């Protein structure tokens, strides 16, 4: 059953902080451009963009409660960096609360924080759009924006580089999935799959 994006938008507006909702709208806008550029299903992309931060404003205690409730497995890095949990919880909420059955959409939501080896084009578009949406002003974001219009794989690697550099500057843990995803892209010539 298709999801009513207008209704989802209203629900998210009620759940998210003003800052997170503005960010979500920025990601949706970026996704629309990228989906058109890379011939990715626009409805899937918009749905994943709207959902990607549905759990972003949850306190750590609430995220951990949802992890248990949904039976989500987490690793040691996610346990020590609970902000990462909002991606897995968001995907589970998409399935259980919003009735989303499209595995590609749920996977893109789940992968938007750390990435993963073998990312699909939809996964990549959500990851990159989250990094380049108009409200972002991190170092190097303009380079990623330029790359996003030319080569999705290259933009994805640059976005991952920026994420890793930020985590290193902040003396935070870098999830091995991000390193593995980045290395996979470099080994494969920065190609993202249009499958699945």
Instruction: In whole angstroms, give the CA distance from residue 61 to residue 188.
Output: 39
CA distances from 18 to 14, 35, 102, 113, 130 (A): 9, 25, 28, 20, 16
The tokens for 160 are 């991952």
Parse the chain into domains and list their residue ranges: 5-187
Instruction: In whole angstroms, give the CA distance from residue 183 to residue 130.
Output: 20
User: Is residue 68 over pLDDT 90?
Assistant: yes
* pLDDT attached to residue 196: 47
140: closest CA among 125, 160, 170, 124? 160
Domain 5-187 belongs to what architecture?
Answer: Orthogonal Bundle (1.10)
φ/ψ bin of 151: left (φ > 0), alpha (ψ from -120 to 50), beta (otherwise): beta
Q: What DSSP line would sit under 169-185, residue for residue? A: HTT-PPPHHHHHHHHHH
What is the mean predicted confidence (pLDDT) over 104-128?
97
Across the strands, what pairs with 120? 193
Instruction: In whole angstroms, give the CA distance from residue 159 to residue 111.
Output: 13
CB-based contacts of 127, cutoff 8 Å, min separation 6: 111, 112, 115, 119, 156, 159, 160
Q: What are the tens digits of pLDDT across the range 34-50?
A: 999 999 999 999 999 99
Q: What are the tens digits of pLDDT across the range 133-164?
A: 999 999 899 999 999 999 999 999 999 999 99
Instruction: In whole angstroms, give the CA distance from residue 17 to residue 85.
Output: 18
Under the banding of pLDDT at 50, 70 and 90, the label for residue 165 is very high
pTM for the model: 0.94
């Amino acid at each position: 059953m298709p999801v009513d994006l207008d209704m989802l938008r209203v629900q998210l507006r009620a759940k998210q902080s003003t800052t997170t909702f503005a960010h979500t709208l920025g990601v949706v806008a970026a996704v629309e451009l990228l989906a058109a550029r890379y011939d990715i299903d626009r409805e899937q992309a918009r749905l994943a963009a709207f959902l990607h931060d549905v759990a972003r404003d949850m306190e750590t205690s609430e995220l951990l409660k949802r992890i248990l409730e949904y039976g989500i497995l987490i690793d040691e890095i996610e346990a020590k960096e609970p902000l990462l949990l909002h991606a897995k919880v968001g995907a589970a909420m998409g399935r259980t609360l919003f009735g989303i059955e499209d595995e590609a959409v749920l996977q893109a939501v789940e992968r938007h924080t750390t990435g993963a080896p073998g990312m699909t084009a939809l996964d990549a578009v959500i990851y990159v759009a989250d990094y380049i949406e108009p409200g972002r002003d991190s170092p190097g974001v303009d380079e990623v924006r330029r790359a996003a219009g030319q080569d999705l794989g290259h933009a994805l690697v640059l976005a991952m580089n920026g994420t890793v550099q930020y985590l290193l500057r902040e003396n935070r843990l870098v999830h091995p999935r991000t390193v593995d995803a980045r290395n996979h892209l470099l080994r494969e010539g920065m190609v993202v799959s249009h499958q699945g």
